[in-house]
Amino acid sequence: MAVISGWRPHPGQLAFLASDAPVRVLACGRRWGKTEVIAAEIARTLLGGAPRAVLLVAPSQEQAMLGFERAIEFLQRAGARPTVRRSPAPTLTLGDSKLWARSAARGGMLLRGRKAHLIIVDEAAYVPEAVVTEVLTPMLADTGGKLALVSTPRGKNYFYRLYQQGQEDGVRIWSLRSPSWHNPLLSPTLLQMQASMMSARQFQVEYGAMFLDDAGQVFRTEWVDRALQLNLPEEGLTVAGVDWARRQDYTALAILRGSREGAKLLLIRRWQGLSWREQLEAVARLLRLYQPVRVLCDRTGVGDPLLEALHEAGVPQAEGIVFTQTVKQNLIDQLALMLEQGRLQLLPDPALLGELYHFEA
C-alpha cells in the first residue's frame, strides 16, 4: 500500500491501515511503531482530497505532540506544505482539512465542542474510559467518523473490553494484539536490555502486549483514573521529593502542593543518562523555581555529597532521607490510601501512570 512514498509499514502496521472498520483497537508493545502508524494514518487522511477534521488525542500534551510532529514529517515527505501552529494548541491546516493534537487531561475538557471525521487516541489505555465514551465518541456522530485506539495494554480496562469485542465482531470493531518483536526494525538487543530492567510481568505487558489482570497490583487502576479527574483547590504547602539515578535508572523529581487531606501533583520529571552535574542542575533549577518548603532527597547509597551540592545550588531546605524497608512501606501505604480516598490529584504523565500500574506488593 502506497501510504507515504518511501515509508514501508511492517505487517502489523499494514493490517491496521488496511482495515476499514469504524472502530479500530490496536494493542501492541512499546516501540512497536504505534505513533508511527498513527502519523501515517493521519497523513493519509489529510492527503486524501476530501476535507477532513482529524483529532489526535493522548494522555498528555507532550505525548500528543509526538504524533503531531511525526504527521508533519510524513506530510512534508509526501510533498505537502501544511500550515502549522504549535501554540496555544497544536493545529495543522492542509487545504480544507485540519488536524488538532490535544491532551485528554482534565476529563477531556480541552476536547469538547468539535466534530471530527477521524479521532485517533495514542496510549488509549491510559486515557480514562469516560473521555472516550462521553467526549470523543459523540464527536463522530454527525460525521459518521472513525475511531482508532492505539495503546500498550493496561490491565483489563475498557481498552481490553473493546479489544475483545473486536475479536468477536471484526466488522464494526477491528482489533489486533501484537508484541513489540513483531516490529522487524526493533533490535533484539534493546528488547533483551529492557527485559533485564523490569519484572517479568511488566515485560509481558509492556513488550508482550498482554492483557494481564490486576492481581498483585497495589494501586488500583480505577483509583489512578479518578486521581486524574480530580480538581482539588490550589492550597497548602509546596513540597518536593528527589530520587537520584543509580546506574541505568532515572533521576526523578516530584513537586506537590497541599496536605495529607488533599494534595495535587504540580510537576513530575525524569531524566536519564545525565552526568551528576547535569542532574543536579536540572533538579536545582526547578526547585528554585517552585520554592518548596521541604525537599526530601533519597540519600540511600548516594550519601551526602549530592545533598551538599544541592544546598550550594540554591536549595538550602533540601534534606536527606534513607529509604529503609519500613520508610518505603509506609510511603506506599500512605500513597495507596490517598489514592483510594481520592485525596491525591495526579498528572497524566505516562511514565508515572505506567509505574503505578506495574507496582506490585
Report the interface residues with ligand ATP, using CB under 6 A. Answer: 7-10, 13, 30-36, 185
Residue 126 vs 244, nearer CB to ligand ATP: 126
Identify what 30 binds: ligand ATP, Mg ion, none; CB under 5 to 8 Å per kind.
Answer: ligand ATP
Task: Indicate the SS3 state at residue 45.
Answer: helix
Identify what 33 binds: ligand ATP, Mg ion, none; CB under 5 to 8 Å per kind.
Answer: ligand ATP
Contact between 91 and 82 (Cβ < 8 Å): no
Residue 46 vs 56, nearer CB to Mg ion: 56
Q: How far is the CB of 361 from ligand ATP (least distance, A)?
A: 26
Residue whose CB is nearest to Mg ion in the complex, by number? 35
Q: How far is the CB of 14 from ligand ATP (least distance, A)?
A: 9
Q: How far is the CB of 347 from ligand ATP (least distance, A)?
A: 18
Q: Which residue, among 266, 232, 229, 231, has the nearest Cα to 107 in the 3D structure? A: 229
Question: Whose grid coordinates read 509481558?
Answer: 204
Residue 13 vs 97, nearer CB to ligand ATP: 13
Residue 31 vs 117, nearer CB to ligand ATP: 31
Q: How far is the CB of 38 from ligand ATP (least distance, A)?
A: 8
Peptide bond preceding 11 in cis form (omega within 30 of 0): no
Q: Cα 340–345–351 angle (5° rounding)?
A: 95
For the record, the C-alpha cell of 300 comes out as 540511600
Identify what 31 binds: ligand ATP, Mg ion, none; CB under 5 to 8 Å per kind.
Answer: ligand ATP
What is the rounded distance in angstroms from the CA atom of residue 159 to the CA atom of residue 150? Answer: 9
Q: How far is the CB of 117 from ligand ATP (least distance, A)?
A: 23
Residue whose CB is nearest to ligand ATP in the complex, by number? 33
Residue 38 vs 116, nearer CB to Mg ion: 38
Q: How far is the CB of 306 from Mg ion (least distance, A)?
A: 33
Q: Which amino acid type is present at position 40? A: A
Q: How far is the CB of 206 from ligand ATP (least distance, A)?
A: 8
Identify what 102 binds: Mg ion, ligand ATP, none; CB under 5 to 8 Å per kind.
Answer: none
If you write DSSP's letter for every residue of 147-181 in order, what string do you get? EEEEE---SSSHHHHHHHHHHH--SSEEEEEE-GG
Helix (H) or strand (E) run with residue 25 in it:
strand 23-28
CA dist list (Å): 181 to 24, 154, 200, 205, 235:
21, 19, 16, 13, 47
Question: Whose grid coordinates read 526547578?
Answer: 286
Identify what 9 binds: ligand ATP, Mg ion, none; CB under 5 to 8 Å per kind.
Answer: ligand ATP
Q: Which residues bind Mg ion (CB under 5 A)?
A: 34-35
CA R_g for the chain: 22
Cβ density class 300-311: b for 16+ within 10 Å, e for less: bebeeebbebbe
Contact between 121 and 149 (Cβ < 8 Å): yes
What is the rounded distance in angstroms from the CA atom of residue 69 to the CA atom of residue 50? Answer: 22
Residue 58 vs 224, nearer CB to Mg ion: 58
Residue 179 vs 262, nearer CB to ligand ATP: 179
